Chains A and B, each alone.
Chain A
């Protein structure tokens, strides 16, 4: 009997800046393989992770819930044990073979509970090539053609940039920068001295920053080459025309924008991430959608829709992209939300034009994303800014009312600082609702 349900291949990378794709116009990085996916598929140019850190964002992909719903408030905080993940859901409700290779990093959830694991995670330079190899072997050697599969390919790079940036002491060969000065990309237009990462970027100077960006783009290319192999294997396989492929990243990287590296904050460089969908015959090729606001919890909603299984339970704001691909006239959301509990407890509202970053203990930041896409002019003190803040505060309240806020955990053994993350946002969200 022919297989009716489509296969799903979910390829994700770690810490990829949304603009680090040559097809999107970046002249300083070459990504021929991601470019092929862009050409063959549908790109969302306004895609945002639910929280710009590994575990919370990845937990959102696999549960359909926002970071203040599934319990993974920051890395190492454990997921709610009662929340099913997509691997279990497709396996138990759709008859899928759920397979995983590479980086998982959903704290508190053993990937082996939900997936057949081909290879565990490791640093990108050390492990990504082997991850690709296992994914390719799986596609080539698979014998059961009647059971649909849900193959997850988790690459680590460009996350290796954390090591070149001195996160653990620096492996960046920064003194080599002098020898390749002509090859170093320029600093971003909104680069500035920033106290946020002053410790980790101490001594870099402008040439050090440019070398960091140069190295980062080489790591993007490193993973691009591996993605190409997996993509080739899929596109040359019998599964080509019956497989939904989704590509994205868990969060972005500072890349020198605003003087930032790494992630954890809600400026665009850490919060916005690429999203490309390829499904020959079902999803139009070569589309770059700059209008629709989408987010990480939409991915499991989309997968469940195509797989013909019910949505993950208690999925609140995630929406399937399928009606968009099929050209249906649907009312789409007016804003997306991002949350963080790293450093500051903050929530961002990104509307079609304006963006507000609310902080629990500091004044808001408000930007006109059409006139000021690099977020250089905070308009919070202007009359227009105050109007926007009032409007976005109402949306913030609406958002809190529409999600099922995760209470302080009774599961797992939390350290005092981890408990404080929950206490902080619970108190803050309570005050927003009461205001």
Chain B
């Protein structure tokens, strides 16, 4: 049974059992009753992975070409920012809010990542550039350098006083992060990944059925231990050209809302959804 049908059946059974006593009734009433202009209704989207981007999907074609089998590739994503709900269609509204270019190269038994992420924050644009060395089955981090700079969105002028440069290492389960002045240390009880190397790990398809526990170095600067990534099955979602089947992985843990990675059979992570900040694949080369 496809995941979508399973969840639909499960929700109906739960509603019938009274656990969600008014779900079906409320949804029917919400659809049928006239509503004041500003009233919003709750959305119980199935599958939940796509709830933040339902309004984006009809225009998203996905990426059907570009192989990542060699382990050497360049992925380009666009940031899809949640921007409310259309009360007529009940679909989320989104806006574009940045880009991510991720390059992966293989060097013997090491993986080399180069990351360029640009996101606009009001009048300023933040550019994060990182070079990382990873290794092992799950592309665990070994060492990295990351720089952050801010520029004026209107002129492109950089703001030197907002520049940051850090370097990090993972040795003997200790993460050391140096900001050019002092070290911060964190104890790791599992492999250490960035959200970018999670994409590389998923591309290998090695964890289809097994949960992976890891520590997250978010944007290579923010320590978020205690993460778990689980395969939750295959789901079918509506895209621009029709319904598509994707493998769904869910990440939960400290400091993250449930984050879903939607991966095609070629290992390309087509969509990443959390809540406000989501990512959609644009190109693979």
A interface with B by C-beta (< 8 Å): 30, 118-127, 129-130, 132-134, 136-138, 140-142, 160, 163-164, 166-176, 178-180, 183, 199-208, 215, 218-219, 221-222, 224-226, 228-229, 232-233, 236-237
Q: Interface of chain B, helix or strand or loop or mixed? A: mixed
**Is A221's CB under 8 angstroms from B20's CB?**
no
Partner pick for A169 among B42, B160, B250, CB 8 A cutoff: B42
Task: List the A side residues contacting B145 at CB < 8 Å.
Answer: none
Partner pick for B45 among A121, A160, A173, CB 8 A cutoff: A173
**Is B254's CB under 8 angstroms from A119's CB?**
no
**Is B218's CB under 8 angstroms from A129's CB?**
yes
Q: Nearest Cβ distance between residue A145 and chain B, in whole angstroms?
A: 14
Bound CA–CA A133/B146 (angstroms): 12
Given A141-B163, A174-B44, A222-B255, the answer on whether A205 and B52 have CB atoms closer than 8 Å is: no
Partner pick for A208 among B20, B47, B163, B232, CB 8 A cutoff: B20
**Is B122's CB under 8 angstroms from A176's CB?**
no
Q: Interface of chain A, helix or strand or loop or mixed? A: helix
Partner pick for A206 among B19, B49, B226, CB 8 A cutoff: B19
Q: Mind listing 16 A-B residue pairs with CB under 8 Å? A: A137-B163, A138-B162, A164-B257, A164-B275, A166-B41, A169-B90, A172-B42, A172-B51, A173-B45, A175-B11, A175-B45, A203-B20, A221-B256, A225-B224, A233-B179, A236-B181
Task: List the B side residues contacting A225 at CB < 8 Å.
Answer: 218, 222-224, 254-255
**Is A166's CB under 8 angstroms from B40's CB?**
yes
Given A166-B41, A236-B181, the answer on whether A171 and B51 have CB atoms closer than 8 Å is: yes
Given A129-B222, A169-B85, A218-B255, the answer on whether A205 and B121 have CB atoms closer than 8 Å is: no
238-285 of chain B: CB within 8 A of chain A = 250, 252, 254-258, 260, 274-277
Bound CA–CA A228/B254 (angstroms): 13
Residue of B nearest to A102 (CB): B121
B206 within 8 A of A: no
Given A129-B218, A229-B222, A236-B184, the answer on whether A168 and B85 have CB atoms closer than 8 Å is: yes
Task: List the B side residues contacting A232 at CB < 8 Å.
Answer: 184
Task: List the A side residues contacting B160 at CB < 8 Å.
Answer: 141
Partner pick for B150 among A122, A134, A142, A178, CB 8 A cutoff: A134
**Is A175's CB under 8 angstroms from B30's CB?**
no
Given A122-B122, A178-B10, A202-B42, the answer on whether A222 and B256 have CB atoms closer than 8 Å is: yes
8-52 of chain B: CB within 8 A of chain A = 10-11, 14, 19-23, 26-27, 30, 39-49, 51-52
6 additional A-B residue pairs with CB within 8 Å, beyond A171-B51, A173-B48: A119-B122, A126-B97, A169-B40, A169-B41, A207-B20, A228-B222
**Is B276's CB under 8 angstroms from A218's CB?**
no
Residue of B nearest to A30 (CB): B254
**Is A163's CB under 8 angstroms from B275's CB?**
yes
Residue of A nearest to B47 (CB): A175
Partner pick for B258 among A134, A167, A176, CB 8 A cutoff: A176
B221 within 8 A of A: yes
Residue of B nearest to A229 (CB): B222
Bound CA–CA A166/B92 (angstroms): 12
**Is B180's CB under 8 angstroms from A221's CB?**
no
Task: List the B side residues contacting A219 at CB < 8 Å.
Answer: 257
Bound CA–CA A342/B2 (angstroms): 46
Bound CA–CA A1/B256 (angstroms): 46
B82 within 8 A of A: yes
Bound CA–CA A222/B275 (angstroms): 13
Task: List the A side residues contacting B180 at CB < 8 Å.
Answer: 140
Bound CA–CA A167/B38 (angstroms): 10
Bound CA–CA A119/B43 (angstroms): 32
Bound CA–CA A167/B224 (angstroms): 28
Partner pick for A202 among B22, B119, B226, B232, CB 8 A cutoff: B22
**Is A203's CB under 8 angstroms from B22's CB?**
yes
**Is A133's CB under 8 angstroms from B258's CB?**
no
Given A137-B164, A205-B19, A218-B257, the answer on whether A167 and B219 have CB atoms closer than 8 Å is: no
Task: List the A side residues contacting B184 at CB < 8 Å.
Answer: 232, 236
Task: List the A side residues contacting B81 at CB < 8 Å.
Answer: 126
Mask of B66-105 contacts with A, CB within 8 angstroms, 1/0: 0000000000000001101101001010000100000000
Bound CA–CA A295/B10 (angstroms): 48
Bound CA–CA A141/B149 (angstroms): 12
Q: Nearest Cβ distance between residue A142 and chain B, in whole angstroms?
A: 8
Partner pick for B257 among A125, A199, A203, A237, CB 8 A cutoff: A125
Task: List the A side residues contacting B122 at CB < 8 Å.
Answer: 119-122
Bound CA–CA A176/B43 (angstroms): 12
Task: List the A side residues contacting B11 at CB < 8 Å.
Answer: 175, 178
**Is B161's CB under 8 angstroms from A160's CB?**
no
B182 within 8 A of A: yes
Task: List the A side residues contacting B163 at CB < 8 Å.
Answer: 137, 141
B138 within 8 A of A: no
Q: Nearest Cβ distance between residue A283 and chain B, in whole angstroms?
A: 23
Bound CA–CA A174/B214 (angstroms): 25
Q: Nearest Cβ distance between residue B272 and chain A, in whole angstroms?
A: 13
Task: List the A side residues contacting B257 at CB < 8 Å.
Answer: 125, 164, 173, 215, 218-219, 222
Q: Nearest Cβ distance between residue A40 and chain B, in whole angstroms?
A: 16
Bound CA–CA A206/B52 (angstroms): 22
Q: Nearest Cβ distance between residue A233 and chain B, in whole angstroms?
A: 7
Partner pick for B181 among A126, A140, A205, A226, CB 8 A cutoff: A140
**Is A224's CB under 8 angstroms from B123's CB?**
no
* Candidate in B30, B45, B258 with the most chain A CB atoms within 10 angstroms: B258
Q: Nearest Cβ distance between residue B194 and chain A, in whole angstroms?
A: 13
Residue of A nearest to B52 (CB): A171
Residue of A nearest to B162 (CB): A137
B124 within 8 A of A: yes
Task: List the A side residues contacting B223 at CB < 8 Å.
Answer: 225, 228
B7 within 8 A of A: yes
**Is B7's CB under 8 angstroms from A170's CB?**
no
B134 within 8 A of A: no
Task: List the A side residues contacting B111 at CB < 8 Å.
Answer: none
Residue of B nearest to A136 (CB): B164
B126 within 8 A of A: yes
B151 within 8 A of A: no
